[in-house]
Amino acid sequence: MLKKNEIVTVEIVDLTHEGAGVAKVDGLVFFVENVLPGEVVRMRVLKVNKKIGYGKVEEYLEKSPHRNEELDLAYLRSGIADLGHLAYPEQLKFKAKQVKDSLYKMAGITDMEVPLTLGMDHPVQYRNKAQVPVRRVNGQVETGFFRKNSHDLMPIEDFYIQDPVIDQVVLALRDLIRRFNLKPYDEQEQSGLIRNLVVRRGHHSGEIMVILVTTRPKVFRVDQLIEQLIKQFPAIKSVMQNINDQNTNAIFGKEWRVLYGQDYITDQMLGNSFQISGPAFYQVNTEMAEKLYQTAIDFAELREDDVVIDAYSGIGTIGLSVAKHVKEVY
């Protein structure tokens, strides 16, 4: 039986849906970060139980030709880009394989052909929404992302997959929070004021919404903070406050207030305009959502006299995208 801190040579045989490598040793399945199928590594055993274990790479003996060597490992450690170490064309193949594997595991289907995943021309800087925690790190107010499986904040300035303007807004807010000496939330002490910053930006419209998630209603000199922010980003159409005083992992509480402008921004999807509120679900990758919806419309072979039921509509992006092709949508 392998023991903690033992070092063994293993070959990586698969990836989990979260991007961890899979190795098999002595009848055990090990999960290892930052490895790819076909790679051979010297692995240190971190943890082991009866059936599974966790390991980390001590040394790469053989590397995959599909490895993306340019990725900042902070993105893997924080879960921002779980598959970022795998070259993008191979990511698309991997996602098709996931669908095939799921069809087999869940329904025993083996003869279904799964076409290659439709990809992006520029598969970074696409997210139209950011939810960023605010914490104190080494005495300084920071924004960033939690390290995987922890609540330790890793300060990050370039989030890699987010609209770059959203990153700029987050940094400007961080600097203003420092300047106005607003206290970040402390989970252990259950104290502080600013918990999270949420920023939305319309992919087509460029309109921006900022949400300050706070532990209590009163924010000292918040009007001056907003005035400074809007000077830098005139595209801001809405500044909201959400009050969350609960000891919870949920980002939003129940109470919402408008601090500036309106309580929504507008963006377009497949030619329709949508009003997007703070808590609304809206696909975070607009470019691929449009491809997804159009593909579904094409597959459905809709006719002008069809009636479509959208049984899970949210703000209606799918149903309204379909509407112009059919008689009516419920």
The CA dihedral of 125, 126, 129, 132, to the nearest 10 degrees, is -30
Q: Order across the sheet with 255-261: list the strands.
A: 153-155, 140-146, 129-137, 194-201, 208-214, 236-243, 255-261
What pLDDT, on the 0 to 100 scale, is given for residue 314?
86
Distance CA 160, CA 75 (A): 8
Decide if 199 contacts 172 (C-beta within 8 A): no
Asked if residue 145 has pLDDT above 90, the reply is: yes
The CA dihedral of 90, 73, 49, 26, to the nearest 10 degrees, is 50
Q: What percent of the chain is predicted at pLDDT more than 70? A: 100
Assess if residue 225 is contained within a domain. yes
- Could you tell me the pLDDT band of residue 313, with boundaries at 50, 70 and 90? confident
What pLDDT, on the 0 to 100 scale, is given for residue 2?
87
Assess if residue 246 is contained within a domain. yes
Asked if residue 287 has pLDDT above 90, the reply is: yes
For residue 276, give the amino acid letter.
I
Assess if residue 231 is contained within a domain. yes
Average pLDDT of span 123-141: 96
What pLDDT, on the 0 to 100 scale, is given for residue 50?
87
Tens of pLDDT, residue by residue over 153-178, are: 999 999 999 999 999 999 999 999 99
What pLDDT, on the 0 to 100 scale, is given for residue 52?
94
Are 28 and 144 contained in the same domain? no
- Could you tell me the pLDDT band of residue 311, with boundaries at 50, 70 and 90? very high
Average pLDDT of span 276-292: 96
Assess if residue 194 is contained within a domain. yes
Select from 265, 288, 316 the last residue of a domain.
265
What pLDDT, on the 0 to 100 scale, is given for residue 119?
95
Domain that holds residue 59: 7-65
Tens of pLDDT, residue by residue over 75-124, are: 988 989 999 999 999 999 999 999 999 999 999 999 989 999 999 999 99
Q: What is the CATH number of the domain that holds 58?
A: 2.40.50.140
Are 147 and 30 contained in the same domain? no
- Could you tell me the pLDDT band of residue 1, with boundaries at 50, 70 and 90? confident
Distance CA 328, CA 307 (A): 5
Assess if residue 322 is contained within a domain. no
Average pLDDT of span 204-226: 97
Tens of pLDDT, residue by residue over 21-41, are: 999 998 899 999 999 999 999
Assess if residue 137 is contained within a domain. yes
Select from 50, 65, 80 the last residue of a domain.
65
CA distances from 232 to 73, 201, 225, 227 (A): 31, 15, 11, 9
Nearest to 196 by CA among 103, 271, 131: 131
Asked if residue 148 has pLDDT above 90, the reply is: no
What pLDDT, on the 0 to 100 scale, is given for residue 149?
84
Tens of pLDDT, residue by residue over 174-206, are: 999 999 999 999 998 999 999 999 999 999 999
Q: What is the CATH number of the domain that holds 228?
A: 2.40.50.1070
What pLDDT, on the 0 to 100 scale, is given for residue 139?
94
The CA dihedral of 64, 68, 70, 75, to the nearest 10 degrees, is -110
Select from 265, 298, 318 the last residue of a domain.
265
Are 142 and 237 contained in the same domain? yes
Assess if residue 37 is contained within a domain. yes
Tens of pLDDT, residue by residue over 47-67, are: 999 889 999 999 999 999 999
How many domains, in total, are found in the chain?
2
What pLDDT, on the 0 to 100 scale, is given for residue 184?
97
Assess if residue 26 is contained within a domain. yes
What pLDDT, on the 0 to 100 scale, is given for residue 73?
87
